[in-house]
Chain A
């Protein structure tokens, strides 16, 4: 079955430290890949997306993600986190344009001062 896995439910990093959030997918082919961020009580904001081409994609708020076909992964990174980055992060995939989006279970990011 098609699935998206975010293995880390919670991650805690110190402000200014680097960050990597993991995402793996299980599909027969390369899907469309997304990262969304959700602040408490808010909707989802698109951070970045990958459809094709350069496997390192840049997003908003200083985030980037790298698609690795061999590992079926699309990990989100940020070189230096800010306290305002504390939120829930969702990895998501769409297999085909008309398919529904499949979300991972999310990773809650905590920032230590």
Chain B
């Protein structure tokens, strides 16, 4: 149980385009979902926290207009990187947490490369 999927696993796009990444909890309802960014050989950096039906809470320094997060249902959250630039190239990982619990379950990650 507690499986989280991400789609796509890899995406390559041109500079200036937008990319949407989906995060799904497959066998549980995730009241809270998190989006992380991981730089090479670095730990995870929390970008934002989203609760179902509410606006996402962004961490300091993360541009909310650039990284659009939608958590429309208890099993799906999306991260849209708008007007992507090469510096947005990174590994993006989502996680999901069931209501009333303390454990986050992570997706397999999405490798974004912006040319």
Could you list which residues of chain A lie within 8 angstroms of chain B, going by C-beta atoms? 32, 34, 36, 41-46, 49, 51, 90, 94, 97, 100-101, 103-106
Shortest Cβ-Cβ A-B pairs, 4 listed: A44-B106, A43-B108, A43-B106, A43-B109
Taking CB atoms, residues of chain B closer than 8 Å to A46 are 103, 105-106
Contact B109 A42 (CB under 8 A): yes
The yes or no answer to B78 lying at the interface (CB within 8 A) is no
Interface size of B by CB at 8 A reads 22
A104 to B43, CA, bound (A): 7
Taking CB atoms, residues of chain B closer than 8 Å to A42 are 108-109
B111 at the interface (CB under 8 A from A): yes
Query: What residues of chain A lie closer than 8 Å to B75, measured between beta carbons?
Result: none
Q: Which residues of B contact A97 (CB under 8 A)?
A: 100-102
The B interface, classified by DSSP as helix, strand, loop or mixed, is strand
Contact across chains for A41 and B109 when beta carbons are under 8 A apart: yes
Which residues of B line the A interface, CB within 8 A? 4, 6, 34, 42-44, 46, 49, 91, 93, 95, 100-109, 111
Q: Are B49 and A100 in contact (CB under 8 A)?
A: yes
Residue from the list B6, B43, B46, B102 in contact with A43, Cβ < 8 A: B6
Cα A90 to Cα B43 with chains together (Å): 8
| A100 touches which of B34, B106, B107 (Cβ 8 Å) | B34
Shortest CB distance B54–A (Å): 13
Q: Are B43 and A106 in contact (CB under 8 A)?
A: yes
**A100–B93 CB distance below 8 A:** no
Could you say which residues of chain A place their CB within 8 Å of the CB of B44? 44, 90, 103
Q: Is the CB of B111 within 8 A of A41?
A: yes
A34 proximity list for chain B (CB < 8 A): 103
A94 touching B109, Cβ below 8 Å? no
Separation of A34 and B46 alpha carbons in the complex (Å):
16
CB atoms of A43 and B93 under 8 A apart: yes
Which residues of chain A are near B103, meaning CB under 8 Å?
Answer: 34, 46, 49
| Residues in B neighbouring A36, C-beta threshold 8 A | 106
